Amino acid sequence: MKKMKKSLTEKLIYNDKILIVISVLLSITLWATVKINYSNETSRVISDVKITLNAEGENEEGYKYFVDEAQLYADVEIAGKSYNINSNAISKDDIVVTVSDSFADTAGKKWLTLSAKLVNGKGGNSAQIVSVTPSTIAVYYDREITDTFNVEAQLSNSAEDLVDEGYIAGAPVPSVKTVDITGPESILNQLEKVFLQAEIPSEDLPLTKTKTMTATVRYQFGSTVDLQYISCPEFEKNVPTVTVSVKERREIPTAVKYINQPEAYTPSDGNVTISPEKVNVISNTNSTETKYIIETIDFRELSNKVNKFVYTAEETQSSDKLADDISLFTVTIDFSDMSRKVVAGNSSNVLFVNSKEDFDYNVDFSGGGLDSIILIGPSSALSQITYEDIQIEINVDSLDLARSGSQQIEVSNISIQNEAGKECWVYGSYTATVTAVPKAE
């Protein structure tokens, strides 16, 4: 007998595998329908949602909102079907928190109400905002200005026992002298001083060398203000510091320096007297100076007699600072044991410095002292020197070559070209009467 072919429906009904698949699909569909339509309402809190300050807080007079950046975040509670508000469905990027539009025409602190809404089409019709925490935010409403302020340094330590014996501490110095500070106009108008305050660790005391410490910024206002609304880019970029310089107090002898000094002669202690002989100074701890230099003395100013010079404390050349209250220094150089000799210059021993090749130069020895050059030194040495040993240098660079006739020029140098001259020196300053004439072609 011939078998009858089964219809498609019969094949589906009597195929167990197909029936299992159909049953699973129907179950999933039924579960999803129930879940969507009968799922319980729930809620969740989304944290750290950024608060947006709208531009309507500013007006044409330049007023704006100032706010502490740390306060620009809120927690938002949302409610709805669990499948509609879970973390996969809604994130903090899908919520916008804004402030209420509150117009103000006076400067000061304001409290603005916060509100939130869902964006990006999230949440559907079932999700809603339940609450925003906090419900308000504090802002300062004012014009923004930037002003420059002087910076002072302060130490928390007591001035007593700050440095070791034999040392002196200078005034604390801030890392910057001035800073630009930005903030609400009504607040900055009350700012009186800016301080950098530091404290030297107890284990570093007493100090024997300069110390730099990290400092805390302190502001002094005329009244109580909100500091979070002001900013200082300098202190945000660079760590503020305070430096306390430490110098050593020590006693050193006084002395003078010399120029145009004879090569083979140095004044002895018996020739030179300085009053006071010693001074107390305040030096950098790494100072290498062993003497307190009063002044540089030119040998051309020293004759064969008792030479006396008086200098004020402000004129001294030492880098060390005086610790004593001294106003005047007296330097006495006694060369009364020296001899004196007068010689005349001569044209054969004149050197013209910076001369022009197309000019002839002549010196008139009848004036300016070149006919009576004074030499100072030991008599035994002076006796060996004659006028032929005297060389005169004249720098003619400043001569006006367009002028005819003679011109007065200061003599650059007069030297003694004799071995005996190493113990002697030329006393005084001299001028030369010089004539420059173009050479004949």
pLDDT tens figures, 54-70: 655 566 577 888 888 88
C-beta separation of 238 from 175 below 8 A: yes
For residue 65, what pLDDT is reported?
A: 86
How do residues 367-387 score in pLDDT, each as one tens digit?
788 999 999 999 999 999 999
| 5 located within any domain | no
Looking up residue 238, the CATH number of its domain turns out to be: 2.170.120.40
Residues 320 and 348 grouped into a single domain: no
Residue 5 scores a pLDDT above 70: no
Beta pairing partners, 174:
242
Q: Which residues 6+ apart lie within 8 Å of 8 measured at CB?
A: none
- End position of a domain, from candidates 214, 244, 274: 244
- End position of a domain, from candidates 226, 244, 262: 244
For residue 266, what pLDDT is reported?
A: 83
- Pairing, β 246-259 against β 278-284: antiparallel
Residue 11 scores a pLDDT above 80: no
Looking up residue 104, the CATH number of its domain turns out to be: 2.170.120.30
Could you list the residue range(s) of the whole structural domain that residue 232 is in? Answer: 144-244
Provide mean pLDDT across the span 6-32.
62
d(CA 127, CA 76): 13
**Tokens for 115?**
């509100």
Q: Which of 130-139, 213-222, 261-270, 304-313 has the lowest mean pLDDT?
A: 261-270
For residue 13, what pLDDT is reported?
A: 55
Residue 109 scores a pLDDT above 80: yes
What end-to-end distance do the CA atoms of the chain give, in Å? 154
Q: Give the number of residues written for the chain.
A: 441
pTM: 0.55
For residue 86, what pLDDT is reported?
A: 87
For residue 123, what pLDDT is reported?
A: 73
**Tokens for 203?**
């284990």
| 230 located within any domain | yes
Residues 201 and 234 grouped into a single domain: yes
For residue 59, what pLDDT is reported?
A: 60
Residues 240 and 291 grouped into a single domain: no
Tell me the pLDDT of the chain averaged across its residues: 87
C-beta separation of 353 from 396 below 8 A: yes
Residues 198 and 224 grouped into a single domain: yes
| 92 located within any domain | yes
In this prediction, residue 358 has a pLDDT band, given cuts at 50, 70 and 90, of very high
In this prediction, residue 41 has a pLDDT band, given cuts at 50, 70 and 90, of confident
How do residues 160-177 score in pLDDT, each as one tens digit?
889 988 888 889 999 999
For residue 37, what pLDDT is reported?
A: 53
Looking up residue 404, the CATH number of its domain turns out to be: 2.170.120
Residue 100 scores a pLDDT above 90: no
Number of structural domains in the chain: 4
| 13 located within any domain | no
How do residues 381-404 score in pLDDT, each as one tens digit?
999 999 999 999 999 998 999 888
- Pairing, β 306-312 against β 41-52: unpaired
| 25 located within any domain | no
Which helix or strand (DSSP H or E) is residue 353 part of? strand 350-353
For residue 291, what pLDDT is reported?
A: 92
